[in-house]
């Protein structure tokens, strides 16, 4: 059975996990949620890279076969470094997100909403310029408040009104010319229904294409560990595990059996 290591700054990567469990159901997953250091979207590229490196080391020491960076901000800051550092495949969410959007756009004008740090790094633009044609355009829109709102559970406390107001603030600034909007932060699919109220054309969640890429990568490697145990997910978080558990159980619709609190920036030990 394959052992998949994945991480995000918190609960956002669960949107990718859900797709992975659907498309690669027989796998052992270690999910690291760095909620003690969220949001990544307000950090510098160097700070984010440092956090990713420590998480990568932790996952690699725990003998995963592949690392999925289930966070756009972390992908933008660290995917090149992670691929160089670790002798196992590393995949991110940005290229799959762009590929999915290129499949559905009709007028070739694509937009992406993402964290401020991702926007500053040109996270999508840099990859888009390499894989899209000259006829395609991409517009990035940084959104400071959406990820922290979800990570702190505001939408639960204040209901849809505040969620809608915050989302409307950003989505209404998207040009009418854009026919396809990529959710360029893995937290955003959690509020996709709210986003759909203000953007009525194609909305792309990169999670599905990422899970398909994972399946393809796995088909090219042998699992390190050949034991045939039951598929399971082990969650490790750097911050509060109670809030994470409540949200994850609600979002995944099942009980979480295994969750640990471990701040890698302090200790860095094996589970």
- Helix 45-61 × helix 72-85 angle, to 10°: 60
Is 185 a binding residue for ligand DGL by CB under 6 A? The answer is yes
Beta strand 90-91 pairing with 66-69? parallel
Is 39 a binding residue for ligand DGL by CB under 6 A? The answer is yes
Establish whether 185 is a catalytic residue: yes
Dist CA 228 CA 27 (whole Å): 10
Residue of 118, 210, 238, 241 interacting with ligand DGL (CB under 6 A) = 118
Q: Which stretch binds ligand DGL (CB under 6 A): 152-160, 179-187, 195-203, 215-223?
A: 179-187
Dist CA 132 CA 12 (whole Å): 26
Is 38 a binding residue for ligand DGL by CB under 6 A? The answer is yes
Return the number of the residue (27 or 186) whose C-beta is nearest ligand DGL: 186
**Rounded (10°) CA dihedral 161, 166, 167, 170:** 150
CB 47 to ligand DGL: min, Å: 12
CB 185 to ligand DGL: min, Å: 4
Q: Which stretch binds ligand DGL (CB under 6 A): 35-43, 58-66, 194-202, 239-247?
A: 35-43
Establish whether 143 is a catalytic residue: no
Is 33 a binding residue for ligand DGL by CB under 6 A? The answer is no
**Total Cβ atoms within 10 A of residue 243:** 17
SS3 6: strand
Is 73 a binding residue for ligand DGL by CB under 6 A? The answer is yes
Residue of 55, 64, 71, 101 interacting with ligand DGL (CB under 6 A) = 71
Return the number of the residue (2 or 204) whose C-beta is nearest ligand DGL: 204
Is 27 a binding residue for ligand DGL by CB under 6 A? The answer is no
Dist CA 155 CA 152 (whole Å): 8
**Residue 137 backbone phi and psi in degrees, to 5:** -120, 155
**Total Cβ atoms within 10 A of residue 249:** 12
Dist CA 72 CA 118 (whole Å): 7
Dist CA 210 CA 213 (whole Å): 5
Return the number of the residue (105 or 118) whose C-beta is nearest ligand DGL: 118
Is 41 a binding residue for ligand DGL by CB under 6 A? The answer is yes
Give the footprint of ligand DGL on this chain (CB under 6 A).
8-9, 12, 38-41, 71-73, 115, 118, 147, 185-187
Catalytic annotation, residues? 71, 185
């Amino acid at each position: 059975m394959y052992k998949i290591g994945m991480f995000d700054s918190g609960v956002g990567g669960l949107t990718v996990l859900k797709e992975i469990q659907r498309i690669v159901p027989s796998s052992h997953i270690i999910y690291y949620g760095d909620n003690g250091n969220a949001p990544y979207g307000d950090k510098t590229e160097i700070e984010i890279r440092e956090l990713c490196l420590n998480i990568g080391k932790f996952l690699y020491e725990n003998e995963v076969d592949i690392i999925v960076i289930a966070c756009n901000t972390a992908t933008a800051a660290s995917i090149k470094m992670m691929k160089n550092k670790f002798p196992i495949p590393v995949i991110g969410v940005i290229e799959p997100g762009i590929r999915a959007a290129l499949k559905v756009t009709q007028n070739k004008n694509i937009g992406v909403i993402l964290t401020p740090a991702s926007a500053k790094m040109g996270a999508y633009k840099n990859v888009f310029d390499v894989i899209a044609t000259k006829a395609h355009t991409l517009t990035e829109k940084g959104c400071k408040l959406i990820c922290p709102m979800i990570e702190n559970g505001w939408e639960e406390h204040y209901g849809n009104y505040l969620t809608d107001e915050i989302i409307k603030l950003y989505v209404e600034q998207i040009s009418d010319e854009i026919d396809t909007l990529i959710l360029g932060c893995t937290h955003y699919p959690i509020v996709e229904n709210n986003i759909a109220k203000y953007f009525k054309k194609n909305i792309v969640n990169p999670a599905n294409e990422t899970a398909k890429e994972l399946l393809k990568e796995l088909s090219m490697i042998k699992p390190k560990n050949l034991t045939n145990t039951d598929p399971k997910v082990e969650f490790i978080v750097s911050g509060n595990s109670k809030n994470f558990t409540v949200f994850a159980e609600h979002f995944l619709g099942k009980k979480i059996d295994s969750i640990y609190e471990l701040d890698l920036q302090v200790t860095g030990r094996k589970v």
